[in-house]
Structures are given as C-alpha cells and as structure tokens.
Amino acid sequence: MSDSRKIGTRAPPRILLLGTFAVMVDNAEVFLPTNAQRVLVGLCIVGRPRLPQSRAALAERVWAASPAKRAQGNLRTALWRIRQVDRWLVSAAHDQVRLGPLVRVDVHESLAQAERLLRQEEQLERDDERLDPLTLDLLPGWDEEWLILERERVRQTRLHALEALSSRLLADGRYGLAVQAALASIAAEPLRESAHYALIAAELGEGNYAAAHRDFRRYCELLWDELRLTPAVGFQELLARHSPRRGEVPLGSG
C-alpha cells in the first residue's frame, strides 16, 4: 500500500521555514522541542533533502560542539519526539534517516517556483505570480553556522526570481504587478542595481515617465551616499529609449 493511501484523507504534514519555524499536522500547528526542530531543519535544507542522510553525519552537523556519543544520543531522542508528534514526518532505518516522502516544505516550494521563473518557461503556473513565497527569509534569527550559507543561497535565488517575474509581467503588459515584484526585490536588498533597473523598466513600460525618473534619481542618491558609486550606463540608455523626447506632445493631448 502506498504512503498516500496509508495517510488517508488528512492533509500531508507541512514544515514552514520561511519567516518562522512551524510544523503543521492535519492543518494544526504542533509543538516540538528545540533539538527536534533542528533535526527537521537539517533534513529539510542540507544536502539533497529527499535522499537519506547518515545518522552520524546529521548528528555531527546539528551538534557540532558535542562529543559524537552525546550528539547521536540527542539525535535518537529528537527522532523519537518527532515521531511521537507524527510518524510521517521522518523515515528512519538502520543508520540512515530522511524526511518523510509526503512532507511538504515551504522553502522547497519557493525554490521550485523560483526555478520555473528563472527557466523562462512559456507558461507560468497559477501560483508562480505569488510574491509572498519569494519575500521571506529562511529562519531569520537562527544562528547555526551550517544554516548561514543555505540562507544566503535561498535569498539570492529569490531575488533573481523576483526580477525574472517582474520582467515576465512587464512583457505581458501587467505593469502594476511587475512594479510590485521589482519593489519586493528592492525591499530585500535596497542597493541591488538589477532590481532598480526592473522597477524603472516597469514604470516606463506603463508610461509613468515621471515615476521612473524620480526613482532613478532616488537610486542615484542612495548609491552615492552609501557607496560613492553611480549607476550603470544602461539606466540612462533605458530612460532615453522609452521617455518622450523633450518638447514632444504625448498622443491624446490637446
């Protein structure tokens, strides 16, 4: 009998790592102690999450400062507590452990959305235009060393995806959403030049020339104040290419 039939009609377990940590079982949040949380996070984001990990490697990673024997004891206790909450969350056999195959993880879904946007597929899925999964950081406030690089990898992928989404929406003539996607990238990294370029391109596409020039000036001031740099020449070329010529009367005027 397949796992999906064994679990019945209840909702699959869900682990939330973007913005906060939470475990949802049958659509209700459940409590897990800190060590159990750390084990689930390690299974979700380190290495190849859907493949088994050795117990020894997982214990060493999560409890790097502890002796091996104590770390492995901590892992056994954490796994027991996780399975007491829901037996579908992890699968453990012999010297290996893995995330349960039915478990949904929000950061996995966010990265899958980002990958679709970055591949420039012909058709976006319905949820690919949602900004929320692309704007939340991975477990902010957690300071585990093994988490830092993964947090930055997720962050950079999301920023590129937001700009790709803005570009796709601009090409489709959906200017308001294109502006929102660019602004979301700027909010995450205010000095990011490609995000400001996406914003100004969307504003110009909509015909909001004054807004484009205003935001360009603001970016110039910010970049100079913070880094003593000036924007790339491409900004000026973009503005010149799309803005009306000086003295030109817009169509429909008069």
Q: How confident is the model at residue 243 (pLDDT cuts 50, 70, 90)?
A: confident
- Whether the per-residue pLDDT at 1 is higher than 90: the answer is no
Q: Give residues with Cβ within 8 angstroms of 131, minimum separation 6.
A: 162, 165, 180, 181, 184
So where are the chain's domains?
3-102, 105-242
Q: Give residues with Cβ within 8 angstroms of 189, minimum separation 6.
A: 159, 195
Say how many C-beta atoms besides its own lie within 10 A of residue 88's C-beta.
18
Q: Give residues with Cβ within 8 angstroms of 60, minimum separation 6.
A: 68, 71
Buried b (16+ CB within 10 A) or exposed e, 130-151: eeebbbbebbeeeeeeebeebb
CATH of domain 105-242: 1.25.40
Mean pLDDT of 13-34: 96
Q: How confident is the model at residue 253 (pLDDT cuts 50, 70, 90)?
A: very low
| 3-state secondary structure (DSSP) of residue 24 | strand
Q: Give residues with Cβ within 8 angstroms of 195, minimum separation 6.
A: 159, 162, 163, 182, 185, 186, 189
Q: What share of the chain is helix, strand, coil (3-state, %, to 5)?
A: 55, 10, 35
Instruction: Give residue 5's pLDDT.
Output: 46
Of the candidates 4, 242, 200, 227, the one whose C-alpha atom is nearest the C-alpha of residue 100 is 4
Residue bearing the bigger pLDDT, 96 or 50 = 96
Instruction: Give residue 206's pLDDT.
Output: 93
Instruction: Give the predicted TM-score (pTM) of the model.
Output: 0.86
Instruction: Give residue 254's pLDDT.
Output: 36
CA gap 254, 82 in Å, rounded: 71
Residue bearing the bigger pLDDT, 73 or 241 = 73
- Whether the per-residue pLDDT at 108 is higher than 90: the answer is yes
DSSP string, 36-82: HHHHHHHHHHSS-TTS-EEHHHHHHHHTTTS-HHHHHHHHHHHHHHH
Instruction: Give residue 41's pLDDT.
Output: 95
CATH of domain 3-102: 1.10.10.10
Instruction: Give residue 242's pLDDT.
Output: 84
